[in-house]
Each structure stands twice: as C-alpha cells, then as structure tokens.
Amino acid sequence: MRVVVGITGASGALYGVRLLSVLREAGVETHLIISRWGAETIREETGLDPDRVRALAYRTYSHDDLAAPPASGSFPVDAMAVVPCSMKTVAAIAHGFSRDLISRAADVCLKERRRLVVVPRETPLSPLHLENLLRLARLGVVVLPPVPAFYLRPASLEELVDGTVGRILDHLGVAHGLSRPWGGPSHPEQHGLGRPRQPGPPQACRPGQEGEPGDGRQGEPGSSGGGGGRPGVVEVETRAGEGRLQVVARGWDTGRGYVVGLFGGESPHVGAVVVSMPRPSLADPGKPSCTSSVINLPAHKEEEVIRPLAEELARATGRPVVGVAGVHVEGADPASLDALVHHCREAGRRLVGVITRGDAG
Ligand SMILES: Cc1cc2nc3c(=O)[nH]c(=O)nc-3n(C[C@H](O)[C@H](O)[C@H](O)COP(=O)(O)O)c2cc1C
C-alpha cells in the first residue's frame, strides 16, 4: 500500500509523527512532504529534528518540488492524509490552489477520485474555515478534526494521540490496534476508576481460585482476591516454578495504569519498588521507551527482576506502571537463586502476555 502524508504548520505535529511511525510498522510505503511551517511546529511541539521524522518515511520530497511524483496523477497512490492540516492548506485544497506539493498532491487525489483525509486544526473556526471544510467534505474528503474521544478515557497523551491516529488509519484502510472501538457504556460502579471494559479474552478467575498455575487468570472488574470489591480494578495472576521456589506475579489494571508485583519463595516481602513512565524513544520517536525510578530496600536485589517487568509493560501499554517485588528463600544455594530469578522472569513474561494479549504465551 502507498500513502502520501503531508505535515503542515498547524498545531498537532505529534499526530503526523505517530501516523508515520505506525504506517512504517504496518509496512505501508509512505511518501512524506513537510511544509516549512510543518517543520517549525515539529521542532516547537515535539523537540524533534524534522530530519528524524523524515527518516520514518519511505521517501520524502521538498514542499516546493512540484515535479515530484505525488504531483502527478500518473503516480499511483492508494490514499493521502494531511496531518495536521492548517487552515491555509485547507483553503488551498478547497479551492484547487496548488502552489505547493501538499496542496497539489491533494488536488491530484481529488481529480483521480482517491481517498483523502485531512486533519484540520484551528480554534475557534471562522465562517471562512467552516465554509472551506464544508467544501472539502462535499468533495468526498474525510474531514477528521483531532478531537479526542473522552468516553474511551485516554490515560496519557500517547493514548489521546493514538485515538485520533487510529481513526485516521480506519479511513486510510490500514488495520491497527491503536484504539479500541466503543463497546458500550461502562458499568455505573466503574466511574472514576476504570475504563469501559471491552468484551474479549481472557476469561477470568481470581487469585486463589482454581486454575492451572501459570496460565494467566484475570478477575472481573470490581473483584479482588481479598473480597470487598474495587470498582473498575481488574486483577491478574500468573505463576512459575514449584514448591518453595514458586513465584507469583500479580497485576492490577486500574484503568489508568498498572500495579504489578513479583512475590515468592518462603517469605514474600517488599524488596524493591519501581515506577516506569512510558515515553517515545529518544533515538527513534516511533518506538516506545520509558523512564524508571527505583527504590531498593537496603541489601535487596529485587530491582533485577521487577524493573524489566515494569518497563516492558510500560512500553507495551503506554501506561505508567508501579512494580513491587520481594522474593526470598532462606539459605538458598546459587542454583536455587538462579531458579528463582528464572521463575520471576517467566511469571512476569506470562503476566505481560495476559495483560497485553489475553494469554500467557
Ligand atoms: C507554533 C505554531 C502553531 C500554529 N498552529 C496553527 C493551527 O493550529 N492552525 C492553523 O491553521 N495554523 C497554525 N499556525 C499557522 C500556520 O503555520 C501558517 O498559517 C502557515 O502559513 C501554514 O502553512 P502550511 O499550511 O503550508 O504549513 C501555527 C503556526 C505556528 C508557528
């Protein structure tokens, strides 16, 4: 699939950057044009060098290059998206004033009857802006303002951006898992804590209930191992190892972040605490990364196992993760210690699988 992406000088550069990186992951051939003020807003709003954004695309063109392939209808493309789209570029497209490559490539989409998505950003909108947007809509352009769907309760800027990028991908015809469809209102008890629960895996049982050790189990919203009910909190448990070397991994989805724990051996306790905050990778903004802070209790080494777990979950979900670990076997020999570390990693890997995919893997 081949898609032309234009980034203009409206606020919301992050939407364009995220779209490019998701299209790249999806194997879509992207042809990128960044306007002069698009480059400025990328710098201003994301702190990124526009060349780093260009590196996400399959090919890039100068905004002035009206001889570039996307300027011609003979260059086959499946769709085009202008993300974000300034009111100047909205006006240019609406009136066929093709003085730069973004408006010319959009004009080509219109004349060739190809899919065109514009993500206009301005507020408030003047009658002129509204008239131009109406012209575009009447021409068959998908006018998709970056207005968040708060009913999906975005827990971070990344989730908020992904909500809009997911809708853009829907209209470009690219499959994605960025945003979840609305699955109906949340249970009244969930307000203030949880997110609307989507139907789907995994089927659940609570910690302490029967089930194969280590197969990943999830509690219903409002349930907890200790009883009493915590509205909106979903509890998950996995295990690895046997007997005194068994490790239990527990996770709680609060709806806005996760709390995970690794406990086991003969005397579970609190040995290390970590907080991992997701963020885009500094080296490649298309990739997720995170920043962690750790508190080790004196003479404890659980950071070694809880930090990788918290970081993996933060990167995979884009949500903050708090991790706690305490695993101890009295007088353990080196082989038992190795086994405990291995079981911690295995139980943690299963926990991440259950939380992110619905199975322990
Ligand atoms: C930081 C910054 C934010 C801007 N935000 C908007 C905006 O949200 N919407 C808009 O229409 N123009 C916005 N502008 C103005 C446009 O960049 C300007 O109209 C420019 O000529 C658009 O040209 P382009 O469409 O070729 O990028 C912004 C400019 C700057 C410097």
In a domain, 199, yes or no: no
The per-residue pLDDT for range 292-328, each reduced to its tens digit, is: 999 999 989 999 999 999 999 999 988 899 999 999 9
Nearest ligand 1 atom, CA 36: 27
> What count of other Cβ atoms lies within 10 Å of the Cβ of residue 57?
21
Binding-site residues, ligand 1, Cβ < 6 A = 8-11, 35, 37-38, 40-41, 44, 86-89, 121-122
Residues 250, 158 share a domain: no
Euclidean distance between CA atoms 287 and 137, whole angstroms: 34
Residues 221, 141 share a domain: no
In a domain, 192, yes or no: no
Residues 260, 315 share a domain: yes
Q: What is the token pair recorded at 34?
A: 């960044």
User: Looking at residues 67-96, what average pLDDT do you find?
Assistant: 97
**pLDDT-derived band of residue 151, with 50, 70 and 90 as boundaries?**
confident
In a domain, 230, yes or no: yes
- Report which residue type is found at 94: A
End of a domain among 172, 198, 232? 172
The rounded mean pLDDT for the chain is 86
Whose C-alpha lies nearest to ligand 1, atom 31? Answer: 41
Percent of the chain with pLDDT over 70: 85
Q: What are phi and psi of 197, to 5 degrees?
A: -80, 135
Residues 167, 221 share a domain: no
Q: Which residues pair with 265 in a beta bridge?
A: 328
Q: Which domain holds residue 314?
A: 217-357
How many domains are there within the chain?
Answer: 2
Residues 148, 7 share a domain: yes
pLDDT at 234: 78
**Best mutation site among 37, 102, 123 for ligand 1 pocket (most ligand atoms within 8 Å of CB):** 37
pLDDT at 331: 87
pLDDT at 219: 45
End of a domain among 172, 206, 238? 172
Euclidean distance between CA atoms 90 and 110, whole angstroms: 13
Query: Omega into 202 within 30° of 0, i.e. cis?
Result: yes
pLDDT at 91: 98
> What count of other Cβ atoms lies within 10 Å of the Cβ of residue 228?
8
pLDDT at 180: 67
Q: What is the token pair recorded at 30?
A: 């992207």
Q: What are phi and psi of 250, to 5 degrees?
A: -125, 145
CATH number of the domain at 225, please: 3.30.230.100
pLDDT at 291: 92
In a domain, 182, yes or no: no
Distance 44 CA to ligand 1 centre (A): 12
Distance 124 CA to ligand 1 centre (A): 14
In a domain, 161, yes or no: yes
In degrees, rounded to 5, the angle at the alpha carbon of residue 105 between the alpha carbons of residues 14 and 58 is 55
Q: Which of 2-6, 288-292, 357-361 has the lowest mean pLDDT?
A: 357-361
pLDDT at 166: 93
Euclidean distance between CA atoms 244 and 340, whole angstroms: 9
In a domain, 11, yes or no: yes
User: Looking at residues 156-176, what average pLDDT do you find?
Assistant: 92
The per-residue pLDDT for range 173-224, each reduced to its tens digit, is: 998 888 766 666 654 443 333 333 333 333 333 333 333 334 444 443 333 3
End of a domain among 144, 172, 200? 172
Residues 79, 226 share a domain: no
In a domain, 207, yes or no: no
